[in-house]
């Protein structure tokens, strides 16, 4: 069974647009878990334009499933996660001004620095995942680094799904199979939706976790949050 981790960055974006504390990110995280979500994901960025560093600390009081913190491993970010000690840290190569994650790590060029970071996190008892493109060489380097998991960057799959879903998913199948052979677990995320998620998991049924935020919150505008979580869980928990 694949776990559903809901990224709540967009909830914080809405709150920050008006100031104050509506909507309350901690209350939403609590509700999401009541509705069945098996994890909460946040991605604090240096400008704190959505999730703030203080939010991360506050969320530890309400998260009772898995807490996944994504981000670029700056000194400030590492200080935060080593203080909070979430279930999982997902390392992403975002530049400080990136609108959203748009590429995986070059794990070959950054192998030495990522190895040191992963070692620090693992020594603190934190599961580590590295955000990568569906490239076998990048997966191989992630295994050498010592990560526990890779998270496959799925925006290219989502973009090509409507045109040729078989071709779109093919490199992900190969990358996921390579990860599995190397002892890495596989996560996936970015632009996965109620339209394309089921097929992706049909082809790669051993995905451990999907992290979904923007599309899930968009769906919730029409379906409501509880119904939306239920719809996604129906896909992640389907027998394959």
Residue 50: active-site member: no
Residue 70: active-site member: yes
Catalytic residue among 43, 140, 151, 209: 43
Catalytic residue among 38, 50, 66, 70: 70
Catalytic residue among 50, 66, 151, 190: 190
Q: Which helix (H) or strand (E) holds 152?
A: strand 149-153
Residues 6+ apart with CB under 8 A from 191: 154, 155, 157, 158, 159, 214, 215
Residue 190: active-site member: yes
Structure tokens at 19: 């100031």
Name the pairing type of β-strands 149-153 and 185-189: parallel
How far is the C-alpha of 235 from the C-alpha of 194, rounded, in Å? 8
Of 162, 236, 176, the residue nearest 204 (C-alpha): 176
Q: Which residues are catalytic?
A: 43, 70, 190
């Amino acid at each position: 069974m694949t776990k559903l981790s809901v990224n709540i960055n967009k909830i914080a974006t809405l709150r920050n647009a008006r100031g104050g504390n509506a909507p309350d990110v901690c209350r939403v995280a609590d509700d999401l878990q009541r509705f069945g979500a098996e994890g909460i994901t946040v991605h604090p960025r240096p400008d704190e334009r959505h999730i703030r560093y203080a939010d991360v600390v506050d969320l530890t009081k309400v998260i009772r499933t898995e807490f996944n913190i994504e981000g670029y491993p700056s000194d400030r970010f590492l200080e935060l996660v080593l203080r909070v000690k979430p279930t999982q840290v997902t390392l992403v190569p975002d530049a400080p001004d990136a609108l959203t994650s748009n590429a995986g790590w070059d794990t070959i060029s950054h192998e030495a620095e990522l190895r040191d970071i992963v070692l620090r996190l693992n020594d603190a008892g934190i599961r580590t995942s590295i955000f990568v493109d569906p490239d076998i060489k990048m997966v191989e380097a992630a295994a050498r680094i010592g990560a526990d998991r890779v998270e496959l960057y799925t925006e290219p799959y989502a973009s090509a799904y409507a045109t040729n879903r078989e071709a779109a998913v093919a490199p992900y199948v190969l990358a996921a199979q390579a990860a599995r052979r190397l002892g890495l677990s596989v996560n996936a995320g970015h632009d996965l939706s109620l339209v394309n998620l089921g097929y992706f998991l049909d082809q790669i049924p051993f995905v451990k976790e999907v992290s979904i935020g923007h599309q899930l919150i968009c769906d919730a505008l029409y379906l409501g949050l509880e119904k939306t979580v239920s719809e996604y869980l129906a896909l992640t928990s389907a027998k394959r």
